[in-house]
Amino acid sequence: MADTTYIALAGNPNCGKTTLFNELTGSNGYVGNWPGVTVEKKQAPWKKERDVELVDLPGIYSLSPYSPEEVVSRDFLVNDRPDAVVDLIDVTNLERNLYLTTQVLEAGRPVVVGLNMCDLLKERGDVIDAKKLSSMLGAPVVEVSALRNRNLDKLMRQAVDAARGGVATKGVRCFSPEVESALQKVQAIVGDAAPAELARWYAIKVFERDAEAIEPLGLSREQLDQAEEVIAAIEKSRDDDAESIVTGERYDWIATVMDACVKKAPKRLTTSQRIDRVVTNRVLGLPIFAAVMIAVYWVALVAVGTPATDWVNDNLFSDGFFVNSASQQRYDADTAAYADGHYADKIDGFLAAAGEKGVDTSAVSKALAADSRSAADERAIKAFESKAKGVVARDVPQHDGDGNLTHDGGEVVTKLDSKGNAVLSSGQKLDVVKTVTLADFKKAVNAQEPDPHDYDGFVDSVPTAVTGWLQNAGASDAVVSLVVDGVIGGVGSVLGFIPQIFVLFVLLCFLEDCGYMSRVAFVMDRVFRRFGLSGKSFIPMIVSSGCGVPGVLATKTIENERDRRMTAMLTTMIPCSAKLPIISLVMGVLIGADNGAWWVAPMFYFLGIVAIVVSAVMLKKTKPFQGEPMPFVMELPDYHFPGVRSWALHVWERVASYVKKAGTIIFAAAVAIWFLSNFGIAGWKGGDGSFGFLQGMAAAPDTYMDYSILAGVGGALSFIFAPLGFGNWQATASTISALIAKENLVSTFGVLYGLGGATENSVSMWQGFAGMFTVAGTLHVGAMCAFVAFNMLCAPCFAAMGTIRRQMDDPKWFWFAIGYECGFGWVVGLLINQLYELFAFGSFGFWTVVAFALLAAILFQLFRPMPTWDEKDGHILQSLSEEPVA
């Protein structure tokens, strides 16, 4: 739109820009407490005026191009020329933030300064004079709180008015007379090559020798030589380089601003500083982090998440549910009565009494044993009843559905006296036997299991309801199977995890938004630096706990190309939300819902961290990755309770991404898996060898899926995973489908085993999953853990792979990354399985030798000294393409 007003949001990392952007536009951009949350500019219209477009620029400390995000911000301000700039300042770090402000004021645009986090400043007891600051900066200053939504409209109104007024801010005169004189000479040398409103900006850049910034000017060699004479004279006079002179004088001027505008309270430890003394402690920092993550996963997967997930699984995708509590109670009571041994005690007791009376019971016993009674069975029952008139069975014991002896009230009896009476803890004796008449026998024989549909307020489960709708509409068996077993069995088994994932993200997002995760990055920098990685590498890994795609994108903030490539390779080893269903499935198999294998989830989370550290150590000792990690500098924001709206948006962004994937990629994959697993060639039991829907073929055996297309593909590739203990075609097919999206592993498993109404907390799902790893009736825990470890550490989903491809910007590096991830995951799976078989079963063979050889190679690479390379030519291998870099 030609009449659109563009307003840029600029500021330091973690100053609250993205929170401000979300509040003003209604967007749900990612908000975090570390550099690099925004690595590319984002754009959206202001909610109050749709013709005002806000552009959220990456958080930067300077407009000098030291990092990719600084280039993005500088190019937009200088080249794209927004109508106005809102420079957001974190007042709790005013001195550092003002350094960028002095540069933004020189960019030749109308500028409005927003003083953010003033509420935190007041808590410290500091006072800032906004009017005086405005006077010294030469730009409007507005006190705001992006988190609390205070004065945001006032800030925007000032910015819109400034933009439509079109008067550029002149900038501050923050340099000494000597440097100002030099800048004026340089400005005269540049002359008309620079736009008038950017004349001072370019003069400073020429003075700093910023070649990239001044390249568009196309200055002649003569102009550059003249400027160099002016610069050299100042450098000689000051005995310092030009860039350092500019930086030093900016901070000198900022110091005078601080003295004039800020009144600081007496120094005392803030609440955040007192907390940091504990959580960032060299000794306690890591154990506290481990305890916090274990607590997060325990709450998400056991205490809160599991009951909610159980309700969804057991009701929405399994049995249905009541919306009427009274009907629920009646149904439960009737079901309990029916389940009371299925009246078997009364029937067996009466038949025994009739036999003693000489009545033939063979025909009626056969009729009662039939799964579905025929007309002949009914006649046999009637004939028996007519012969058994007058029969009374006495002293018939009464049991519950679990086989426990009970008294009339239903309480389980644990002790009997010598006469067969129940003795309760109170000493009361109760009769535990019944007298059964012919009327009791008829009632027991004709008893039917209560149907919940006969009660008010019952709602069918999704699979049952959809099956009924399709059958009533005359759909074929293939269509019913596609929808129920394929779509609902695949997508539904993934959606059942939403409650757990929601709780997990609520907790993780709270830790990020309150400021704790930035402390974790600081603590992990100490650890990572020992193993060749910067603390900046941990930030993408934290982001990857939600999704690997933004995690890989966050590696853009790592300046060193070798560290950036390594981090992009390794960051997806952290379990993301898509891997949570796999972990939950193993939890159910290992211990079950009653006891809760809560430790499984944090175990695999920390397995990811260990895998990253081990990989980093090994890769750093190779030529392509050698070198010291870049220094990690970041601020630690004050702890604060997150704004409810930004917190909710943060959670919604992650959960919505999970649901969207379930409705698109998982849906398509589930349909494809259903087709591949239900179609094949009927070439057995006299079949004609024709291709078709296996369930619909009369010649198809019960194990029809073993003859499917998917079975053929999985079987052909299963040899790859046989040493890892899961060499059957079902496990191989699930693993391959997980490369499309990790959630596909569980959805594929649900389709293959026809578990449309079962999810990770269903016994049938546990039994089916355990069946893939059961050998001679014994659960092979090693193979199951190897299966999970491989799928945790191998190449991520297609979406994350595509992001890695763009970040690497080199096909050779991309395929090296994918190959390393898959190879490392395979080796870890091999070690787990072979070592388990050795110690649990005493099994030793060829692959055991291979496992020990690979373990020895890993240990050698981990503990050997850092090698040195001959650099006599001044060249260091920078990439796999063998391009030398001086």
pLDDT by 10-residue block (mean), the chain, 886 residues: 79 81 71 44 83 85 70 80 89 85 88 85 79 89 84 89 85 85 87 83 85 81 86 85 86 88 76 80 81 78 69 71 81 68 72 86 84 82 87 72 50 51 49 72 79 82 81 80 72 69 79 77 71 67 69 68 81 76 65 51 77 84 72 65 75 74 67 74 52 58 66 82 81 79 68 49 54 63 83 80 78 88 91 86 86 92 73 35 34
CB 466 within 8 A of CB 488: yes
Query: Are residues 822 and 761 part of one domain?
Result: yes
Give the residue from 263, 292, 320 where a domain finishes.
Answer: 263
**CA-CA distances (angstroms) from residue 464 to 317, 483, 485?**
8, 11, 11
CB 880 within 8 A of CB 624: yes
Query: What domain count does the chain have?
Result: 4
pLDDT reported for residue 73: 79
Give the residue from 424, 454, 484 where a domain finishes.
Answer: 454
In-domain check, residue 674: yes
CA angle 548, 553, 558 (to 5 degrees): 120
pLDDT reported for residue 123: 72
**Nearest-angstrom CA–CA distance, 258 and 260:** 5
Kindly report the number of other CB atoms within 10 A of residue 823's CB atom: 13
In-domain check, residue 490: no
In-domain check, residue 810: yes
What is the Rg, in whole angstroms, of the alpha carbon atoms belonging to the chain?
A: 36
Q: Which residues contact 580 (CB under 8 A, 6 or more apart)?
A: 497, 500, 501, 504, 601
pLDDT reported for residue 636: 67
Query: Are residues 37 and 13 part of one domain?
Result: yes
In-domain check, residue 693: yes
Query: Are residues 430 and 400 part of one domain?
Result: yes
**Nearest-angstrom CA–CA distance, 578 and 598:** 18
In-domain check, residue 637: no
Residue that has been written with the tokens 């709708």 in this structure:
469
Query: Are residues 216 and 119 part of one domain?
Result: no
In-domain check, residue 877: no
Query: Are residues 717 and 579 part of one domain?
Result: yes
Q: What is the dihedral of CA 31, 37, 43, 47, to 10 degrees?
A: 10
Query: Are residues 152 and 201 part of one domain?
Result: no
Query: Are residues 428 and 556 part of one domain?
Result: no
What ranges in 215-358 are assigned the alpha helix state H? 221-238, 242-261, 271-279, 285-298, 305-311, 325-338, 344-356
Residue that has been written with the tokens 């999810």 in this structure:
759
**Token pair listed for 569:** 């390779």
Query: Are residues 663 and 550 part of one domain?
Result: yes
In-domain check, residue 272: no
Give the residue from 263, 279, 309 where a domain finishes.
Answer: 263
**Nearest-angstrom CA–CA distance, 15 and 147:** 11
- SS (HEC) of 496-554: CCHHHHHHHHHHHHHHHHHCHHHHHHHHHHHHHHHCCCCHHHHHHHHHHCCCHHHHHHH
CB 555 within 8 A of CB 544: no
Query: Are residues 407 and 356 part of one domain?
Result: yes
Which of 143, 108, 138, 150 lies closest to 128 in space, CA to CA?
143
Which of 543, 534, 588 lies closest to 561 in space, CA to CA?
534
Residue that has been written with the tokens 């698109």 in this structure:
664
Query: Are residues 130 and 228 part of one domain?
Result: no
**CA-CA distances (angstroms) from residue 128 to 90, 101, 118, 145?**
12, 16, 9, 15
CA angle 175, 179, 181 (to 5 degrees): 115
Q: What is the CATH number of the domain that holds 50?
A: 3.40.50.300
Residue that has been written with the tokens 């000017």 in this structure:
217
Query: Are residues 585 and 694 part of one domain?
Result: yes
Helix/strand number for the chain, H first, E second: 39, 20
Domain residues for the domain of 238 are 177-263
Query: Are residues 202 and 153 part of one domain?
Result: no
In-domain check, residue 269: no
